[in-house]
Structure 1
Amino acid sequence: MTELSLIRNFSIIAHIDHGKSTLADRLIQQTGGLTAREMTSQVLDNMEIEKERGITIKAQTVRLDYTAKDGITYQLNLMDTPGHVDFAYEVSRSLAACEGALLVVDAAQGVEAQTLANVYQSIEHDHEIVPVINKIDLPAAEVDKVKAEIEEIIGLPADNAVLTSAKSGIGIDEVLEAVVTRIPPPKGDRSAPLKAMLVDSWYDPYLGVVILIRVIDGVIKKGQEIQFMAAGTKHLVDRVGCMRPKLEILTEIAAGEVGIITAQIKEVAQTRVGDTITDAKRPAAEPLPGFKEVQPVVFCGLFPTDAADFEKLRESISKLRLNDASFSFETESSAALGFGFRCGFLGLLHLEIIQERLTREFDLDLITTAPSVVYKLELSRSKTDDARSMELHNPADMPDVNRIDEIQEPWIEATIYCPDEYLGSILKLCQDRRGVQKQLTYVGGRAQLVYELPLNEVVFDFYDRLKSISRGYASFDYHQIGHRAGDLVKMSILVNGDPVDALSMIVHRGTAEARGRGMCERLKDLIPRHLFKIPIQAAIGGKVIARETIAAMRKDVTAKCYGGDISRKKKLLEKQKKGKARMREYGNVSIPQEAFIAALRMGEE
């Protein structure tokens, strides 16, 4: 059992691609966590997709022993947290398990939006924050400018910031010394009833669910019966250990320490991030603050391109949920796309990651319907039921318009950082998406924009558009600020008079016509011609707001008439006309899968 005064729990917070995982690698290497032979780049990012994109998706932890300059050996518990806004709640729990944080800022890029969001979370937890300026060996590095930004934007003194280059190994000892000298040791009573925070969990095929915990009070040992206070379930601890970064079995984890336990739990869904773990026989009086249920924010349908793959998709989604309980799924059927699943995600990056993992790890070819958000409907009182509210996840399930008093959509507050030259086009983009400007300030040569935006306008392609008009220099971060009533309508796409449920969407009345026209024009190019004319319409209720017509393929019925009277040709053409009318009435329009994929993938122009 390590003395409390010799323990340091800290996390690394940074914007995507500022060198967080590389710095973690160097710290592990410097303290001898792994030998030179065992080292790989991004040790803590163990998913292929994490390494490829240079992002952290799952929080990881590692325990390091570091002998400081004063000759004393300290126990360092490092938390590598995700940097993206979709995982903000997981980040908040990881930060709650620490007493300090290393704020890593790229010397060439300066402070970015997500750095700021995570720093503010860290400040809320009363952390000691150590600024670390990384990549100082780059030709574009501007150390003094970045120091000024840290002081100006965040309000942290940066004169004693640690200068490093994680890639070259410069300044790593200084980082470790700063952790030991500037981050305070944890507080905790080892004789009190057990109180531990569930920081994260993941599924291991051999051990079951592995739970990452930070013990606040008391001690947790093998063979102890524990209770999850929010879930209300009891389990028997069968393994106690820590990651170094390989698993090391311990006899106990005491107050102030971070470690992992297993308790023969089969599903990650039973271990909710932020839950309080206590002793079943001698429970703590009250749970730790800050726990909340993770709610999906963005919904979309996932359908297999080949209908025969439905069972394989069900199996794959169930396996993936073993490791990630933060996304939900339920069976859904569509007349156009067959059987599939309606899935809920924490955000757009989360959606992209799940989709990519299903494609790669399970070799599935998927169609993803247009993403939508959760709307709240206030329904009017009818003879059969009283006035009530309902949540709408799928536009196809929208009740009759006459029954709806009000539709509320989720809104977000977005913070955007961008170089001054791109400000005009970014303001126009936000304005086009029904944004409300709250603030515009300048920090150095960069503008800081705060906008309130409807989430529905952001989930389509806002992030891609923002990146393209700013050439990748703008950074974007947001948090939800609740639901607001809006003039929203359901837009249906009709092909040959039949609604196509997979293409229906909820849009603002002001942008409905433009979006409907865009979708009709695109489908006109994508749907192959038939032997009869096919109208493609965008409609709100019974009113058609846009229309395109696919011309019929025509058979030359007069080809066999060799000269002769014109009335003979007219008779044949009249006969053909009747046949076409009958064909259009009874004919089915077959929309190929490629057309659906292209129409849904392009979102909007």
Structure 2
Amino acid sequence: MKQIRNFCVIAHIDHGKSTLSDRLLEYTKTIADREMQDQALDNMDLERERGITIKSHAIQMYYDRPSDGKQYTFNLIDTPGHVDFSYEVSRSIAACEGALLLVDASQGIQAQTISNLYLAIDHDLEIIPILNKVDMESAMIDEVSDQIIDLIGCEKEDIVLASGKTGLGVPDIMEAIVERIPAPEGDPGAPLQALIFDSVFNAYRGVIAYFRILNGTMRKGDLVRFVNTGKEYEADEIGVLKMTQHPKDKLEAGNVGYIITGIKESKEIKVGDTITTVERPCEKAIQGFEDVKPMVFAGIFPLDNDDFEDLRDSLEKLQLNDASLVFEPETSAALGFGFRCGFLGMLHLEIVQERLYREFDMDVITTVPNVSYNLMDKSGEEYTVRTPSELPEQHTIEMVEEPYITAQIITKPEFIGTIMTLCMEKRGTLTKQHYLTPERVELSFDLPLAEIVFDFYDRLKSVSRGYASFDYQPIEYRETDLVKLDIRLNGEPVDALSALVHRSKAEAFGRQICKKLKELLPRQQFVIAIQAAVGAKVIARETISALRKDVTAKCYGGDITRKRKLLEKQKAGKRRMRQFGKVEVPQKAFLDVLKL
């Protein structure tokens, strides 16, 4: 055990975690040169296309230390940097004793750097600060080193200078890992205690769980029990994770590995659960992860209602690999049967939609995303509202509360004005302004979560020309003036397009949707009225005029009154058609409106 080191790589988006991990894999010859590719640990096409890490990836490497001739086993976990995937980071940190904190020498410390650092400090991890991209012309080595020293209180010589691109500083990082990160503690002879920190579904082998052993020894063929679910299985195969799975006969305390038990049901395994043996069970489960709290809710419906069960299977399998996704069944008058899903943010929602399509071939429609509200009615009863259809009549409501978050934005001083304007527009209040250095300022805002769900992150990046970094934590629920915005076509409400909005934003949002629908809906033989309404009051309207298809060909010659009479007859027919004609909203129109 003295020769094992478990560590993860944490940083803000685009500070070079995956590139540096590639260099470590090359240096330890874990991957043959001919198999090497960029972002070697990112095994999803989606991750390569977007250049982001979505999943944490664990891998084992061996390092032959020249100074003492011993071989060390490194278990490395590469983590995502985007705020929507911070749950992945918290799980990786729980399985480690140390963390490599990467800071981009040309960008300096950013919001997610600080947030991930606090996560690591809460778990008492040993932090190794690394200044990455020092080979770039724009690198500000001294300035950013001072920022790191201010942030974590280390000495200047503790900071390792490195470049993920050229491999500079990799031997220094290896030495720092051996010297500074403590070896795992634990007793190989004690009853087995292993923490599950990730799982994945394989069509041939069933559910594969990734774990970290805290105490005890796991052997192939042992009868194991999952403490929280109480289920018992035989360990068909155990082993360590390299680029592929390497089976082993036994794994001891301090190690990271995988277990295959032939579980086919995804419900039977939970991330954060404890594995022990049936023969010598451990006394108590490991205090693992808190249950994740979704921030954004949206309905996901199959294009064809017959695919409902397939969608349920796909979501269950996806949930194994993405523990922060939560869902429950719901029905909609317009879309039929589907699921109400909870996500950590809009990027998470987009990624889940994309993965459903790529990995499970599921085409889905997503309804307008919203957050959950606390509501108290006149009789004093309290309940949670997650969908527009759950909001009761306005006159029965005593009070509605919406979730607030505290947002930390780190930016350059010249963008303070535009960022404040954006946050005020989103009903935010400034709570703190703090200069980290003369060139970097940290702003703290209290903002309603509902306002940052849609386009806040994109707009923040555009008003600050990409220089602002953003991180948030939920704080509390506060009273709000919430209304339900209904969209009606010829007086018929379309429930999939209704949304919960603040009263001050209802009119602008209603206008926007009506305008968009006017562009998207195909014209009919009759006039279509598109209305946005709050209760009985219509606040926006657009009209799609009828296709004029006047058939006067058979009416040649003769008096004009004959022509008029024929047109009047056709007009009456159109009026009748409007009464009975249903307006079908095409699939594309739904998707484009929901993109608003």
TM normalised by structure 2 equals 0.92
Q: Return the offset for 1:307.
A: 6.2
Other-structure match for 1:513 = 507
Deviation at 1:405, TM superposition (A): 2.9
Q: Displacement, 1:18? A: 1.3
How far apart are the structure 1 equivalents of 2:585 and 2:264? 43
The correspondence of residues 419-458 of structure 1 with structure 2, limited to 5 A, is: 419-444=412-437, 445-458=439-452
In the alignment, the residues of structure 2 paired with residue 225 and residue 342 of structure 1 have an alpha-carbon distance, to the nearest angstrom, of 37
Secondary structure (helix, strand or coil) at the match of 1:453 reads strand
- 1:529 alignment partner AA: R
Paired position in structure 1 for 2:108: 110
Partner of 2:26: 29
Structure 2 Cα separation of the partners of residues 211 and 313 of structure 1: 23
Work out the CA distance in 1 between the residues paired with 2:235 and 2:84: 31
Q: Residue 591 and residue 265 in structure 1: after superposition, are their counterparts in 2 closer, same or farther (change >3 A)?
A: closer
Name the SS of the counterpart of 2:33 in structure 1. Answer: coil
Aligned match of 1:280 = 278
Partners of 1:316 and 1:196 lie apart in 2 by 28
| Offset at residue 217 of structure 1 (A) | 2.0
Question: Unmatched 5+ residue regions in structure 1?
Answer: 382-386
1:42 pairs, out of 39, 42, 54, with 39
**What secondary structure sits across from 1:373 in the alignment?**
coil
Give, as a single letter, the amino acid of the residue that structure 1 aligns with 2:509: R
In the TM superposition, 1:9-28 aligns within 5 A as: 9-28=6-25
What secondary structure is seen at the aligned counterpart in 1 of 2:37? Answer: coil
- What amino acid is aligned across from residue 416 of structure 1 in structure 2? I
- Cα contact 1:61–1:78 (8 A) shared by 2: yes
- Counterpart mapping for 1:175-254 below 5 A: 175-254=173-252
- 1:179 to partner: Cα distance: 0.5
For 1:176, give the aligned amino acid: M
Contact 1:370–1:460 (8 Å) recurs in 2: no
Q: Is the 8 A contact 1:9 1:98 kept in 2?
A: yes
Tell me whether 1:523 sits opposite 2:517 in the alignment: yes
User: Match of 2:476?
Assistant: 482
Q: CA deviation at 1:503?
A: 0.6
Corresponding residue to 1:538 among 511, 532, 543: 532
Change (3 A) 1:108 1:221: same
Structure 1, 523-532 or 505-514: larger mean CA deviation? 523-532
Change (3 A) 1:360 1:134: same
**Structure-2 change in CA distance of 1:144 and 1:563 (3 Å):** farther
Farther off after superposition, 91-100 or 156-165: 156-165
What amino acid is the match of 1:88? S
Q: Does residue 492 of the first structure (1) align with residue 489 of the second (2)?
A: no
CA offset at residue 319 of structure 1?
4.5
Cross-structure match for 2:322: 324
Select between 360-369 and 61-70 the one with higher mean Cα deviation. 360-369
Are residue 600 (structure 1) and residue 559 (structure 2) matched?
no
Please state whether the residue corresponding to 1:176 is helix, strand or coil: helix
On the 8 A contact 1:268/1:324 being kept in 2, the answer is no
Distance 1:32 1:425, change over 3 A: same
Counterpart position of 1:127: 125
Per-residue CA deviation, residues 33-60 of structure 1 (Å, 9 max, x unaligned), is 2222232322221111112222222222
SS at match of 1:178: helix
Cα displacement string for residues 167-201 of structure 1 (whole angstroms, at most 9, x for unaligned residues): 21111101000101111222223333322221211
Partners in 1 of 2:75 and 2:313 — Cα distance?
36
Listed as ranges, the matches of 1:33-72 within 5 Å are 33-68=30-65, 69-72=67-70
Distance 2:550 2:258 in 1: 76
- SS of structure 2 residue aligned to 1:545: strand
Q: Distance in 1 between matches of 2:281 and 2:166?
A: 49
Distance (Å, rounded) in 2 between the aligned partners of 1:320 and 1:258: 23
- Bigger Cα displacement from structure 2, 279-288 vs 74-83: 279-288
1:115, CA displacement in angstroms?
Answer: 1.4
Identity of aligned residues (%): 52
Q: Which residue of structure 2 aligns with residue 416 of structure 1? A: 409
Tell me by how many angstroms 1:513 deviates: 1.2
CA deviations on 1:5-31 (whole Å, 9 max, x unpaired) are 322211111112211111112112211
User: In 2, are the aligned partners of 1:61 and 1:245 still within 8 Å (CA)?
Assistant: no
2:391 pairs with 381, 387, 398, which one? Answer: 398
In the TM superposition, what is the alpha-carbon distance from 1:160 to its structure 2 partner?
Answer: 2.5
- Three-state SS of the structure 1 residue aligned to 2:137 is coil
Check conservation: 1:411, 1:481, Cα contact below 8 A: yes
> Which of 150, 153, 163 is matched with 1:152 structurally?
150
| Deviation of the 1:421 alpha carbon | 2.8
CA distance in 1, matches of 2:136, 2:562: 83
SS at match of 1:37: helix
Alpha-carbon distance in structure 2 between the residues aligned to 1:76 and 1:372 = 42
In 2, are the aligned partners of 1:16 and 1:54 still within 8 Å (CA)?
no
Report the CA distance between 1:378 and its aligned residue: 2.7
Greater displacement, 35-44 / 298-307:
298-307
> Which stretch of the first structure deviates more once superposed, 207-216 or 280-289?
280-289
Give the letter for the 1:117 counterpart: S
Deviation by residue 1:423-444 (Cα, 9 ceiling, x = unmatched): 2222111111111222122233
Contact 1:203 1:267 in 2 (8 A): no
* CA distance 1:245–1:141, shift in 2 (3 Å): same
What is the alpha-carbon distance in structure 1 between the residues aligned to residue 450 and residue 420 of structure 2? 18
Query: 2:254 — aligned with what?
Result: 256
Deviations 1:235-285 (A, max 9, x none): 332222112333222232222222222222224443322222233343333
TM-score by length of structure 1 reads: 0.90
Name the count of aligned residue pairs.
593
Alpha-carbon offset, residue 155 of structure 1: 4.3
2:201/2:317 contact within 8 Å kept: no
Once structures 1 and 2 are overlaid, which stretch shifts more, 491-500 or 101-110?
101-110
Range with bigger deviation, 152-161 or 405-414: 152-161
Instruction: Give unmatched runs, 5+ long, in structure 2.
Output: none
Deviates more, 1:348-357 or 1:475-484: 475-484
Displacement of 1:130 in angstroms is: 0.7
Aligned to 1:384: none
Residues 297-356 of structure 1 show CA distances to partners (whole Å, capped at 9, x for unaligned) of 322233445667666655544553454354244454444445544333232222111111
Contact 1:348 1:459 in 2 (8 A): yes
Whole-angstrom CA distance in 2 between matches of 1:141 and 1:7: 34
The separation in 1 between residues aligned to 2:410 and 2:496, in whole angstroms, is 36
CA separation of 1:403 and 1:236: change in aligned 2, threshold 3 A: farther
Alignment of 1:68-83 (within 5 A): 68=65, 69-83=67-81
Q: Distance in 1 between matches of 2:441 and 2:203?
A: 48
Aligned pairs for 1:269-418 (under 5 A) are 269-305=267-303, 313=311, 316-381=314-379, 388-418=381-411
- 1:393 Cα offset (Å): 2.7
Q: Distance in 1 between matches of 2:322 and 2:119?
A: 23
Q: Could you list the per-position Cα deviations for residues 459-495 of structure 1 after superposition, in whole angstroms to 9, with x for gaps in the alignment? A: 2221222222223332222222233332111110111
Change (3 A) 1:35 1:530: closer
Aligned 8 A contact 1:316 1:358 in 2:
yes
What SS class does the counterpart of residue 427 from structure 1 fall into? helix
